[in-house]
Amino acid sequence: MPYARVVLGFLLAILTTGWGCMPGADSRPNIVLIVLDTVRADRMDCRSDNAVPTPRIDELCARGSYFERVSSTSSWTLPAHASLFTGLYPIRHGATQEYTFLDERARTLAELLGEGGYRTFGVSANPVVSIQSGLARGFDSFEETWRVSAGPASTRPERHPNLLALDELLEYRDTRRPFFLFVNFIEAHGPNEPPEPYRSAVARRRIDSREISEAREHDAEHYYLDPASVSESDFTLLATLYDGEVAQLDALVGALIDRLEADGLLEDSVLILTSDHGENFGDHGHFRHVFSLHQSTVHVPLLVVLPDHAHAGERRSDPVALVDLFATILAAAGVVPPASDNDARDLFAAEPSVDAERPVVAEYYFPAQALSLFEPDALVVHRDRLGRYLRRLRSIESDGLRLIWSSDGAHELYDLAADPSETRNLAGDPRFAARERELHAGLEAFVAESGGPRPLPGGAWRRGEPRGAFKDLDSESAELLRELGYLPR
């Protein structure tokens, strides 16, 4: 072949495929996004004195940046994952307690990365993060691993259904193209039943199976109808079991890292470890993660390990919203989001955004899904108990103050610097009146900029009928959703 034709062919190949898609020429990083469902920031904080032993995550901490002030956009799985995937707050992506489905109004990370030349793999152990809920949209392959029986070898981390799914995905991946891998681990979600050896690793005494089955009896529906049914010591036991699950997650993250390293894939990857929301164990009179927007349910951990360990060992204290991972991931992949029509900012932008100290918001909508857990007449019979939760919540954090706005007027205000656990409600305190007004105005501006307030749901929720992600379920998904407390038992 004459030289000119070779050059012409080469140029045509570049013009038609782009540099990024030339076989063997795409050097963009793989992106691995791991969500440790339901893990509070105080359980994974990259500090050596943490009560929960997480040696494998600690190794990663030394290689990456830990973000100390990260807020999820909500306190439960569906809206938080939808924000992660769209870069939008719930008010704009619309997947909430009132409408349990991520519809097509927004493009997802998987869609954008796929169009940008990435292979996209999803692996989820949480049936709320599913094809059914719309969260799988855009993935080339989405493995719903709750359908896989873990079997007797399940306590071996490398035999976990998520790890087996990963094995298969890596075996058949296209080595000429980078990949985006999303993995959700469900272990820390209730019910809290860590296997050995993780149970003993955190408890200072033996916890027998009788205690575990008694702890299992405590669920959110019973607690909210009779708060005295769960004692302080019950909560202590539940929190200890939860810690055991965090220890188990550490081993699972370790196995996943080992698997990537075995194929030489870790060094060139962006690795993100985070959570979708936290958990209450009696905090603020709450159990699990319904009806609440306190820090115990929205403050989540975030560790980002970049290729070549850039920023290794860094701790960042600027306020971060979970939506920011959307922009951070697209920037790392060199993919431009459509018309920057989202609420996210790249955490590693060369020039930090001028509003790096911008307010951070979280939302919890009218609890139509959570109320479906109760008997249909519960709201009539137990109006005194449940009536107070019939409201929408929004929180805004700015300059160390955090306002939790409530649609029934029972607002709360906390000084996070002096009171990080939010024990002293300062709403109405004249010393903070001006700041409180500013925060209210900030939330009003947020709602106005996001398209204005939505009408409260009509009477449909009263019938307790499942909708969206919880409607027309196959029996496997329904069974696990019951187990996890998303459907009535």
Q: Which residue is nearest to Zn ion (CB)?
A: 77
Only segment of 16-24, 89-97, 143-151, 275-283 that touches Zn ion (CB under 5 A): 275-283
Min dist. Cβ of residue 468 to Zn ion (A): 16
Q: Outline where DSSP puts E strands in 233-291.
A: 269-274, 280-281, 287-288
* Interatomic CA distance for residues 385 and 382, integer angstroms: 5
CB 172 within 8 A of CB 119: no
Min dist. Cβ of residue 81 to Zn ion (A): 8
Min dist. Cβ of residue 274 to Zn ion (A): 11
Q: Which is nearer to Zn ion, 129 or 271 (CB)?
A: 129
Contact with Zn ion (CB under 5 A) among 54, 73, 77, 274 = 77
In terms of Cα–Cα distance, which of 470, 402, 361, 480 is closest to 73? 361
Q: Which is nearer to Zn ion, 35 or 88 (CB)?
A: 35
Task: Count the helices and strands in the chain (H runs, E runs).
Answer: 17, 16
SS3 410: coil
Using the rule CB under 5 A, is 276 a contact of Zn ion? yes
Q: Which is nearer to Zn ion, 273 or 379 (CB)?
A: 273
Q: Which is nearer to Zn ion, 181 or 322 (CB)?
A: 322
Min dist. Cβ of residue 98 to Zn ion (A): 18
Q: Which is nearer to Zn ion, 71 or 269 (CB)?
A: 71
Strands 65-67 and 302-305, by their bridges, are antiparallel
Q: Which is nearer to Zn ion, 98 or 412 (CB)?
A: 98
Q: Which is nearer to Zn ion, 255 or 322 (CB)?
A: 322
- DSSP 8-state secondary structure symbol assigned to residue 159: G
Only segment of 73-81, 91-99, 304-312, 394-402 that touches Zn ion (CB under 5 A): 73-81
How many residues in the shown chain lie near Zn ion by CB under 5 A? 3
Residue type, 477: S
Min dist. Cβ of residue 108 to Zn ion (A): 18
Q: Which is nearer to Zn ion, 276 or 436 (CB)?
A: 276
CA distances from 314 to 62, 296, 305 (A): 8, 24, 10
Place of tokens 């959110």: 220
* Interatomic CA distance for residues 29 and 180, integer angstroms: 9
CA distances from 358 to 14, 86, 212, 361 (A): 41, 19, 44, 10
Min dist. Cβ of residue 80 to Zn ion (A): 7
Q: How many CB atoms lie within 10 A of CB 418?
A: 9
Only segment of 57-65, 77-85, 103-111, 114-122 that touches Zn ion (CB under 5 A): 77-85
Min dist. Cβ of residue 73 to Zn ion (A): 12
CB 102 within 8 A of CB 71: no
User: At residue 383, what are phi and psi to the nearest 5 degrees?
Assistant: -55, -35
In terms of Cα–Cα distance, which of 260, 346, 263, 336 is closest to 65? 346
* Interatomic CA distance for residues 432 and 454, integer angstroms: 29
Only segment of 10-18, 74-82, 107-115, 303-311 that touches Zn ion (CB under 5 A): 74-82
Cross-strand pairs, 140: none
Q: Which is nearer to Zn ion, 81 or 199 (CB)?
A: 81
Min dist. Cβ of residue 232 to Zn ion (A): 25
Q: What residues numbered 35-54 form the site for Zn ion, per CB under 5 A?
A: 37
Q: Which is nearer to Zn ion, 332 or 469 (CB)?
A: 469
Only segment of 72-80, 234-242, 253-261, 466-474 that touches Zn ion (CB under 5 A): 72-80
Min dist. Cβ of residue 129 to Zn ion (A): 8
* Interatomic CA distance for residues 310 and 63, integer angstroms: 8
Min dist. Cβ of residue 184 to Zn ion (A): 8
Residues of this chain that bind Zn ion (CB under 5 A): 37, 77, 276
